[in-house]
Structure 1
Amino acid sequence: MKKLSLACTLALAFAGFASAQTSVTVYGIADAGLVRESGGVAGAVTKISSGVGSASRLGFRGSEDLGNGLVAIFVLELGAKIDTGEIDAAGTIFNRQAYVGLKSAALGALTLGRQDTPYYLTLSNVADPFGTAYAGNIKNLFPTAGSNSRTSNTVVYASPAVHGVSAELAYAFGEQAGSSIAGRQAGVALAYAGGPLNVRLGYNNRNNDITAATGAAMTPPVAAASRDSARNAVIAANYDLGVAKVYGAFGRDKGPNSAPLPNANNPYGGVKPTATTDGAQYLAGASVPALGGTIMASYISKDDRTALNQDATQLGVAYSYPVSKRTNLYTAYAKIRNKNGAGYTVGNNAEAGTGDAAFNLGVRHSF
C-alpha cells in the first residue's frame, strides 16, 4: 500500500507539472478481460485478468529542448493490475521502463536505465501479428521470459534512420562484485522500413557467470560458477499487401537460460518439462481488416533440438474492434500441442497461462 500511495503521489505531482509544461505527458493503458484456460493438471480456470491485450500501466514521459537539435528525454512507467488494483511486480514501482537520456534527429538517442531489449522489440514490433497481445501471441513459444524482454542498468543507443535503415545497441551491466562481465547482457538490432516492408534482425547475449560474492548473497547460497552464455537471435519481417499484412519470423536459441519456460511450475504434472538449451522457432501469420476491426492469426512451431525433443506448435486467432480512437474490444483463442513431455502454455500479454488452450474476451482503453 505504501508503494501504491507513493505512485499516486508521483502521479499527482507529474500531472501538476504537466499542466505548466507541455513537454511532460501523463499516459497509460487500462486493460482487463475474461480469461478461460484449460488443459492443465489443475483443471480449467475462469478469471478476470489485467493486461490481456496490453499490460495495464501508468507512465510519465517528457522532453526538454536543449538547443542545437539536442533534446533531453525521460520515461517512468509502472505496471498495474486492473483486476486487483495492485502494482504488478512486488518490490518495484517503475518496473516497466525507467530511463533518461539525450536525443538528436541527426545523431540518434542515448538512454540509460531499465529498457526493452532490441531482441524483444523485434518480436513485438515486427514479428507478431498479435503485437504480443492476447492468447496465441508470440511469447508463448518464442523465449521472452526474464531478461530477454527487459533489462535494468542498461545503456541503449538507437541510431537515426538513413534511407530506411536503423540500428540499436544495448548493454546491461551485470553489477556483480569482483567481475566486469558476470551477468552482463548485450543486444543489437538492425532494421529496414520502407513502404510496405519492415524487416528486423535482433540478437541478445547474456553472460551466465556467477561470482563468489554474488553467489554467497543468494538464497540459498550458490557457488561461484563460469557458465556458457545464453544467445538468442531472431529475424522477422512483415509486408502490407493492402488487403492484408503478412508476417514471418525465425528464431534461434542456444545455451543455458536462453529459453526459460513461461510457466515453470509443471502445469501438466508428471515429469517436469526441461527448458531447451538448443532450439528454434518459426512463425507465419497475418492480420486482415474485416468487419470494422482487425482479424489476426498465426501459426508457431517450436523445435527443441536437444535429445529430449520437446517440441510444440501453436495456432491462434484474435479479433479486435475499435469502439473509438482510444478504446477497443477484443476476443482471442489459441491452442498449443505439446510433444514428448513439453510444458508450453497458452498465456496472454501479462500472464504465462496454466493450460494448453485459452479464450479471451476483454476491453482495452488508452489515455
Structure 2
Amino acid sequence: MQKKLIALAVAGLMSAPAFAQSNVTIYGVVDFGYKWTGDSALSGYDSRSAIDSGISAGNRLGFKGTEDLGNGLKASFVYETGIVGDRSGSNGLWGGAGSRQSYIALSGNFGTVALGRQYTPAHALLAGNIDPFGFGKGTVASLANVYISPARLDNLAAYVSPTFGGFSVVAAYTNQYSGDETSGNGFGNDEDAWTDARAWAIAPTYKNGPVYVALNVHQIRGNAAEASGQNVVGTVKAWDLGGTYDFGVVKVGAVYGVNDIKDVVKHKQWALTAAVPVGAAGKVQASFVRRKSEVDAGSDARVSQWGIGYEHALSKRTALYTAYADINNKGAADDGVYSASIGDATGTTEGAYQRGFTVGVRHSF
C-alpha cells in the first residue's frame, strides 16, 4: 500500500493527469554479491574477484500501472530501467532509461495487445520456465552464456491470447529490428547493422498442472548493410521447442533449437535443466547446455557448459544464492568468434572467462 501511495505521488509530480491512474506501483530488484571468474581463453588475463551487482538477476527500477476503462477493458504500462548498482549511474548499455522494458498495453476478453520495448516470446520460454537460473547474463550458470536467443526488442507489437484449456499463443512483429542484446547471432547489439529489417515471432504454449510445452518460431529479414566495417546478413530463421515437467521432488526441463543465419552459420543447440526443492525454502539448480555452430566459410565450433547452484528464500522477497559454472570451448573454431564465456548483468564478456562462481543476496520490492 505504501509503495502505491509513493508511486502515485511521484506520478502526480510528473503530470497532473496521472492522478487518474487506478493503480501505479514502483517495483525493482536490488542484487549484490561476490563474483569470481577465471580460466580465461585469452592470454594476459588473470582471474577476477569483485563485489558485483546483478549477479543472479539484473538490478532494476520500474513503474507499472493499470486503469480500468470499463466493459472489461484495461489499459496498462510498464517502464523499467536497468541499474548498475555497484557504481554510480544506470545500466546504459542498452539505451539507459527504459532500457529493460517500456510499453503500453490494452487488455480485454480478446487478450492483450502491447506496443513498445518488450521481452521476446523466446525469452519467455527460456527465462520464465526452462532455465532454473533465469536465462540472464548476470548469473554465471545461465544458459544464455551458450544458448543464443534474443531477450528484448524495440518497436515490438505483441499479442497475447486468452488461455483455452491450457493453450495460449503469443505473436509479435516489428518493422525496425533493434535493441537485441544477443551476441553470436550475426548482428549483435549494433543498431546500425540492419537497414529496414523486419522480424516476426509466434509462440504457442500449453500449460496444465505439472506439464509445460512451448514452441517458438521467429524470422528476421532485412537488407544487407555495412556496419562496423563488416557485411551483415539479411535473413535469420530460428525455432525453439522446449518444456518442463514437475514431479514434485524435481522439476526437469529440456529445450532444442536452431538459429540459422543465411550463408553465415547455423547454430544447433540444446539444454537439460533441473530444479530440486530442499525443504520449504530452498532449491538446488542444475543445467547442461551445448551448441554446435556449423560455419559456412570456416571451421565448425562446439561449446558446452554445466552449472550448479543453490537458492534459499529468507522471505517472499529476499533470497540468498550461490552458483558455479564451467564452460568448455575446446571444440570452438580457431578464431573464437563462436566461443562462449561467462557474462554479467550488463552483457560484458571482457576476459573471455570460462569458469565462474557467485554468492550473494537478492531483494525484490
Length-normalised TM-score, structure 2:
0.82
Preserved CA contact (<8 Å) 2:32 2:361: yes
User: Among 213, 233, 238, which residue is 1:199 paired with?
Assistant: 213
Cα 1:249–1:352, aligned 2, differ >3 Å: closer, same or farther? Answer: farther
Aligned to 1:152: 154
Correspondence for 1:171: 173
Structure-2 change in CA distance of 1:321 and 1:116 (3 Å): same
Which structure has greater strand proportion?
Answer: 2
Consecutive unaligned residues in structure 1, runs of 5 or more: 1-9, 258-275
Aligned to 2:57: 54
Q: CA deviation at 1:114?
A: 0.6
State the partner residue of 2:10. 13
Deviations 1:17-69 (A, max 9, x none): 99985511111111122111111121211122221111111111111111111
- Where in structure 2 are the equivalents of 1:48-87 lying within 5 Å? 48-87=51-90
- 1:126 touches 1:200 (CA, 8 Å); kept in 2? no
Distance 1:321 1:162 in 2: 35
* Candidates 354, 357, 366, aligned match of 2:355: 357
> How many positions carry a matched residue from both structures?
326
Q: CA deviation at 1:125?
A: 1.4
What is the alpha-carbon distance in structure 2 between the residues aligned to residue 323 and residue 175 of structure 1?
41
Q: Counterparts of 2:318 and 2:12 in 1: how far apart (Å)?
A: 22
CA distance in 1, matches of 2:116, 2:66: 16
Residue 109 of structure 1: aligned partner: 112
Q: Once the two structures are superposed, what CA deviation does each residue of 1:122-176 show, in whole Å capped at 9, x if it has no partner?
A: 11112212222521111011113xxx21111110011011111000111112289
Change (3 A) 1:140 1:256: farther
Tell me how far apart the structure 1 counterparts of residues 141 and 65 of structure 2 sit (CA, whole Å): 34
**Which residue of the other structure, out of 173, 187, 195, is the alignment partner of 2:201?**
187
Counterpart AA for 2:96: T
Partner-residue secondary structure (3-state), 1:119: helix
Correspondence for 1:5: none
User: Which position in structure 2 is the counterpart of 1:300?
Assistant: 289
| 1:227 to partner: Cα distance | 4.0
Residues 226 and 337 of structure 1, relative CA distance in 2, 3 Å threshold = closer
- 1:37 matched to which residue of 2? 37
Report the secondary structure of 1:325's partner residue: coil
Cα pair 2:224 2:234 within 8 Å, conserved:
no
2:342 to 336, 339, 346: 346
Q: Provide the rounded CA distance (Å) in 1 between the counterparts of 2:153 and 2:287.
A: 28
Is the aligned partner of 1:284 residue 2:289? Answer: no
Q: Quick check: 2:321–2:359 contact (8 Å CA) kept in 1? A: yes
In structure 1, the partner of 2:144 is: 139
CA–CA separation in structure 1 for the residues paired with 2:57 and 2:262: 29
Which residue identity is paired with 2:199?
Q
How far residue 352 of structure 1 moved from its aligned partner, in angstroms, is 4.5
Gap regions ≥5 residues in structure 2 = 1-6, 179-193
Tell whether the 8 Å contact from 2:22 to 2:66 is kept in structure 1 after alignment.
Answer: no
Could you list the per-position Cα deviations for residues 276-299 of structure 1 after superposition, in whole angstroms to 9, with x for gaps in the alignment? 721111111100011541100011
Distance 1:189 1:44 in 2: 41
What SS class does the counterpart of residue 183 from structure 1 fall into?
Answer: strand
Instruction: Give, in whole Å, the separation in 2 of the partners of 1:351 and 1:329.
Output: 23
Post-superposition CA distance 1:247-277 (Å, at most 9, x none): 10101110159xxxxxxxxxxxxxxxxxx72
Amino acid across the alignment from 1:101: A
118-127 or 94-103, larger mean C-alpha shift: 118-127
Root mean square deviation of aligned Cα: 2.8
Check whether the contact 2:317–2:363 (CA below 8 A) recurs between aligned residues: yes
Alignment counterpart, residue 318 of structure 1, candidates 290, 297, 309: 309
Pair 1:346–1:71, CA change in 2 (3 A): same
